[in-house]
Amino acid sequence: MPDRVYRFIISGGGTGGHIYPAIAIANEIKRLHPSAEILFVGAEGRMEMTRVPESGYKIIGLWISGLQRRLTLDNLSFPFKVISSLRKASKIIKEFKPDAVVGVGGYASGPTLYAATKQHIPTLIQEQNSHAGITNKLLADKVDKVCVAYDTMYKFFPASKLEMTGNPVRRDIVDSLGKRDEAMSFFGLNPERKTFLVIGGSLGARTLNQSTQAALHKIQEAGYNLIWQTGKAYYGTAEEAVKGLPQDQIKAFDFLKRMDLAYAAADIVVSRAGALSISELCLAQKPSILVPSPNVAEDHQTKNAMALVQKDAAVLVKDAEAAQTLWDIALNLAKDTEKQQQLSQNIAQLGKPFAAETIVQELFKLVK
């Protein structure tokens, strides 16, 4: 008897922190049911409209964006965008006839999940952050299940709907342990030295980049390797800054395709505190210094970082203080092997390597 053809819609995006978990969920559905049909619904002009097709999935865009904090033309058009997106999402659901709809956060997930609940389609939210976004809070009473990564989420969602699953991450991150030799060879670094990894996300992080550039000679003279992911906008400046520094010690990249090897090479990671980055760090089990971005809605990143800091699983440096203190703290941590071990052990306990599998199990429970 042939495998039943399941159909799912996955909606959301805007940043890698929403898109990559969504793709991880889609990949797990396809692993279990290769014949399953999956349709993504994103926001026109946003990152998911290119990233999702690159991963082999079809995506349809809605005309939707967020409300700006100041009065803009975009805000004046917001009600029209919501009405347009609700109509289009409703039409997509009627035509595609999904068994269930998953929302991962981001502009498009609100209209899509709301339209699905109106048509009595089973719905699941995957909330990555330690502080729920506005859209997900508004939908909490309407959806069937909410999968979360932090144990404090009962503050935002009905306890009966909560499932503690963790955030789904790329399979290769889970498999990064034990690849150090391969990683040092891949990056062309001296394996005798300890290695810092600086990651500011796909768009880069100005504070991390400026603080790191100012400390390049300090890092080199202290005898450490550096893998520095800058983002596209800052890469030209960084490339110029590392010229003349030893090539087997200091490396700058606009984007890291092999994140598994970057984590494998690292002894200490300096990172923003996006939910996906934190989930990866937990699985990579690395001592981490988190510098939350101040430019995200509802200060999510500080809340994400504090969830680790309170368990002595990471070190927090405020964005406003990073220029003065970040690399002094990082270099002191590099000398303190006992503190590194403590951070590594504590962050490892928070890792959820089977998050995607657990979320998909919950999804199929709703379908059946």
DSSP letters along 318-360, please?
-HHHHHHHHHHHHHHHHH-HHHHHHHHHHHHTT--TTHHHHHH
N-terminal to C-terminal alpha carbon distance within the chain = 18
Residue 358 annotated as lining a ligand binding site: no
Residue 16 annotated as lining a ligand binding site: yes
Residue 129 annotated as lining a ligand binding site: yes
CA nearest 61: which of 35, 81, 36? 81
Residue 105 annotated as lining a ligand binding site: no
CA nearest 47: which of 78, 76, 19? 19
Residue 42 annotated as lining a ligand binding site: no
- What 8-state DSSP symbol labels residue 67? P
Cα separation, 259 vs 173, in Å, equals 7
> Which residue intervals of the chain are DSSP H helices?
16-32, 48-54, 73-96, 109-118, 134-139, 171-174, 180-187, 206-221, 232-242, 259-265, 275-284, 300-309, 319-335, 337-348, 355-367
Query: What amino acid is encoded at 272 in this protein?
Result: R
10: left (phi over 0), alpha (psi -120 to 50) or beta: beta
SS3 category, 74: helix
Residue 119 annotated as lining a ligand binding site: no
Residue 170 annotated as lining a ligand binding site: yes
* Residue 347: partners with Cβ closer than 8 Å, 6 or more residues away: 281, 282, 285, 286, 287, 288, 308, 313, 314
The alpha carbon dihedral of 207, 209, 215, 220 has a sign of positive
Cα separation, 18 vs 21, in Å, equals 6
Element (H, E) at 70: none
- What 8-state DSSP symbol labels residue 44? T
Annotated binding-site residues read: 15-17, 129, 170, 202, 301
Binding residue numbers for UDP-N-acetyl-alpha-D-glucosamine: 15-17, 129, 170, 202, 301
